[in-house]
Amino acid sequence: MTTTTPEAPTALPPIKRRNAELALVAVAVAITMAGIAIAGLNLNGRVPAAMWTVGMTFGALSLAAHVAMRFFAPYADPLILPCTLFLNGIGVAMIWRLDAIGAEDIERAGAGMQVVWSAVGLVLCFLIIIFLKDPRVLQRYTYITGLVAIVLLMLPAIPGLGREVYGARLWIGIGPFTLQPSEFAKIALVIFLASYLMNKRQVLSIVGKPIKIGRFKLMDLPRARDLAPILVGWIAAIGMLVLLRDLGTSLLLFGTFLAMLYVATQRSSWVVIGLGLFLAGATVAYFLFWHVRARVNIWQNAFDQEVYYEVGGSQQLVQGLIGMGYGGVFGTGLGGGQAHNIFAADSDFILSSLGEELGLTGLLTVLMVLFLLVERGMRVALAATGPFNKLLTSGIAFVLAYQVFIVLGGLTRVIPLTGSTTPFMAAGGSALMASWIMMGVLLRISDNARRPAPQAIQDEGATQVIRR
């Protein structure tokens, strides 16, 4: 008698929706080309040749990415790739506009290197999709990835190798080549945390001493010997703040660590302890180190004339704020403003440049797409199979969310300015490649979560032949 093996349930319906992805990718490419065209019209009254050279090159890369998705990850979330290409394309258009204003011949201006880095990032993304069939293999290398993260973070501190840019020691340089290793360290750290917390989550979530007021329990306090992971994370974060003068990466990595710890244990006491330790360490660093006091002083007294005109003062921050205010609701249009006068207009302050030329409306659109990308990451985490994949995916989503918060919070004076980069948009190769690598992991796990279970093609008792 022949029996039918029931199909294993999947967390999300196995629907490909690649045609919807193609339509959205076409919209992202059209917006990129329109941005370059509008910038050219505002700058010299003509549609620049770059609309075709840069735009069509970016369009060809986007189409190749979509075709690769059809072959190698047909069940992946159909929104992740278009959202990423939209952000990457807006960044390319803005960088071209900023380069064009300083070029002797606008027709020779270009965002060539940013397009090249986009291509490299896409290749890395698809190498991960093709060869990393099951990301759970990464959990075998828990302590190796942890060691890699520490080495990458410490590389800029090596004399002769590290380079200081804008007051932070984040870069390493060999000859004409430079690299920001912390961008790749955050990926290794998320892999390490996902693997470590998967193994230790039961001990960290169950064992503890309840703290009560009368009959009411406030929270469960972990045992002293279980505090080691959070102490290591705290020491690393404060060490980066003090040694490398890098508040942004310090906040990003410690925030991601606390968020993943909470996801793994669902224990609020870890978050309370972590925030308390970080605030205590930052307060001590404020009184001991001048560069921490300088950052806080710029944050609190940005419009003070003495702070504004001093070396390394608040001039850059105020320029960005005025630029965003000058843009109003609808902006001046790409190429129609003075965004090129903003400090680091194409990198750390690219959101200020967009705020001036696209206005509040355009800036909110960009932020909505960024947070839609975070939401899709969380959705993939909910649907992912296995605790490691869930923690890894949620860690990537938290990294993106914290990075946007740190950049935007610094530019709007919600928190001290840190100098972090906006994902997919800021000029430079390190951040762009690291962001595309994280998207490769998201797309692979998303495809695995939606892919239908293997079907048995014959029933031979305990031994069966299956096909995917």
- Convert the pLDDT of each residue in 101-133 to its tens digit: 877 777 666 667 888 999 999 999 999 999 998
SS3 212: strand
Position 152 scores a pLDDT of: 87
Position 218 scores a pLDDT of: 67
Instruction: Tally the domains of the chain.
Output: 1
Position 3 scores a pLDDT of: 43
Position 362 scores a pLDDT of: 93
Boundaries of domain holding 312: 136-450
Position 364 scores a pLDDT of: 95
Asked if residue 372 belongs to a domain, the reply is yes
Residues contacting residue 272 through CB under 8 Å, at least 6 positions apart: 219
Asked if residue 242 belongs to a domain, the reply is yes
Helix (H) or strand (E) holding 107: none
Asked if residue 74 belongs to a domain, the reply is no
SS3 70: helix
- Taking the alpha carbons of 287, 292, 296, 302 in that order, is the dihedral positive or negative? positive
- Taking the alpha carbons of 159, 316, 298, 357 in that order, is the dihedral positive or negative? negative
Asked if residue 342 belongs to a domain, the reply is yes
Asked if residue 126 belongs to a domain, the reply is no
Asked if residue 298 belongs to a domain, the reply is yes
- Convert the pLDDT of each residue in 340-380 to its tens digit: 888 888 888 999 999 999 999 999 999 999 999 999 999 99
Position 7 scores a pLDDT of: 44
Q: Determine contact, residues 184/245, Cβ cutoff 8 Å.
A: no
The answer for 168, left when phi > 0, alpha when psi is -120 to 50, beta otherwise, is: beta
Asked if residue 228 belongs to a domain, the reply is yes
Asked if residue 329 belongs to a domain, the reply is yes
Position 2 scores a pLDDT of: 41
pTM: 0.88
Q: What is the DSSP letter of 6?
A: P
DSSP sequence for 382-444: HH-SSHHHHHHHHHHHHHHHHHHHHHHHHHTTSS-------TTTSSSHHHHHHHHHHHHHHHH
Sheet strand arrangement including 162-165: 162-165, 168-174, 177-179
Phi, psi of 341 (to 5 degrees): -85, -10
Residues of the chain with pLDDT under 50: 1-9
Measured torsion, CA atoms of residues 85, 86, 88, 89, in degrees rounded to the nearest 10 = 110
In the chain, what is the straight-line distance between the N-terminal and C-terminal CA atoms, in Å? Answer: 24
